[in-house]
Amino acid sequence: MSATVSGATRGSSASPRGPRQERGGLQRAQRVRSRNALLLILPTLVLLAVVIGYPIVSAIITSFQKDAGLDPATGFFVQGGFAGFSNFTHWLLQRCPTGDGGTTACPSGNLGAQFWSATFTTFFFTVTTVVLETVIGFWMAIIMNRAFAGRSLVRTAILVPWAIPTAVTAKLWYFIFSVAGIVNAIFATKILWTSDDWPSRIAIIIIDVWKTTPFMALLILAGLQLIPGEIYEAARVDGASTWKTFWTVTLPLVRPALLVAVLFRILDALRMYDLPAIFGGGNATATWSVLVVEQMRQGPNAASALSTIVFVFIFVIAFVFVRFLGANVVQTTQAQQKGELK
């Protein structure tokens, strides 16, 4: 079948693509290629617009609407209508709606009252995990970049935490950190790692570091592999110490890769959900994502407002990284790919 099909297409396409035509219509050919490229990309962009664009626009619209419910004056069921910024002030200023259309300070049990505590938790997790993962990941990358027998064993071992689903990771460490578990047994303690405020926060940081440092290490390693060996040789001949070489050679040269890796990790840490939701810790470990999910069934409009706040915040962070710190995501990952496949 393929023979006849290809024969037919070849015959039909031979005349317009003749050599003379090609030479004369180079610009036209370029235009056609450009148009074809957009046609090839179109399905992806359309699909992304459906699965991401639509929900975002929808979330922004509903975040400005009141919850549908019973009108306190008439007792009839009414559609929400325009709510102004009340869904946003619900979170940012802890204002809850009163029956007569005004607002009042939210009671302490209300989810709105948890916004700043969730913000603290999210930031605390993001800063501590990203710092630890960067430092430990850098160390792992430096080790893996050395030539030694068994290097591929290290590279394989490092992928195991990455490959385990986060839900399984959470349950696995839930067992390790249980009251009668191995951690308490080794240190002869009776710490309630899965329910007390600070122990559960620390436990989640340890788990996240275990799970995600390998990813960080691999990204940094890809950056390290782009540094030519001669530069180190030159630094050594000049008598630079290991420490000095690290600060003046390795760090500046690996900076683009490092920035991209840190950016990815920050964006990823800001949306952390699986670990706190499965491992436990209650309010002490409730991140923004946990709060959105809890709010979703109580009042979707307020949940939309919160997820919009999260979205805007993450967008701003990414923008700052790309604009002011010069994290060139596209270029750096391309350069890494070239180095990696050599």
Partner 1 sequence: MTTTATRIGAGARSDAEQRVDVNRAAASRRRWASARTWVQAAIIVIWCLLPFYWMVVTSFRDVGYTFDTAFWPTHVTLDNYVTALSTHWGNHLGRALLNSLIIGVSVTVVSLVIGVFASYALARVEFRFKGIVLGVIMGASMFPGVALLTPLFQLFTNIGWMGTYQALIIPEISFALPLTVYTLTSFLREMPWDLEEAARIDGCTSAQAFRKVILPLAAPAVFTTAILAFIASWNEFLISSQLSSDATQPVTVAIASFTGSLPHQVPYTAIMAAGTIVTVPLVVLVLILQRRIVAGLTAGGVKG
Q: Is 296 in the site for partner 1 (CB under 8 A)?
A: yes
How many other C-beta atoms lie within 10 A of the C-beta of residue 232?
14
Which one of residues 41, 127, 135, 316 is an interface residue with partner 1 (CB under 8 A)? Answer: 41
Residue 165 DSSP one-character state: -
Residue 328 DSSP one-character state: -
Which one of residues 113, 142, 191, 284 is an interface residue with partner 1 (CB under 8 A)? Answer: 142
Q: Is 76 in the site for partner 1 (CB under 8 A)?
A: no
Which one of residues 9, 98, 241, 283 is an interface residue with partner 1 (CB under 8 A)? Answer: 9
β-pair partners for 167: none
β-pairing, 95-97 vs 69-70, is unpaired
Binding range to partner 1, per CB under 8 A, among 67-75, 93-101, 107-115, 291-299:
291-299
- Give Cα separations from 240 to 147, 231, 243, 247 (angstroms): 21, 11, 8, 10
Q: Is 38 in the site for partner 1 (CB under 8 A)?
A: yes
Backbone angles phi, psi at 147, to 5 degrees: -90, 115
R_g of the chain, CA atoms, integer Å: 27
Q: Which of residues 213-242 bind partner 1 (CB under 8 A)?
A: 214-215, 218-219, 221-222, 224, 227, 229, 232-233, 236, 242
Of 74 and 147, the one with the shorter C-beta distance to partner 1 is 147
Q: Is 200 in the site for partner 1 (CB under 8 A)?
A: no
Of 94 and 213, the one with the shorter C-beta distance to partner 1 is 213
Please name the residues in contact with 113: beta carbons below 8 A apart, sequence gap of 6 or more.
94, 106, 107
Of 105 and 172, the one with the shorter C-beta distance to partner 1 is 172
Q: Is 20 in the site for partner 1 (CB under 8 A)?
A: no
β-pairing, 95-97 vs 103-105, is antiparallel
CB of 102 to partner 1, least distance (A): 25
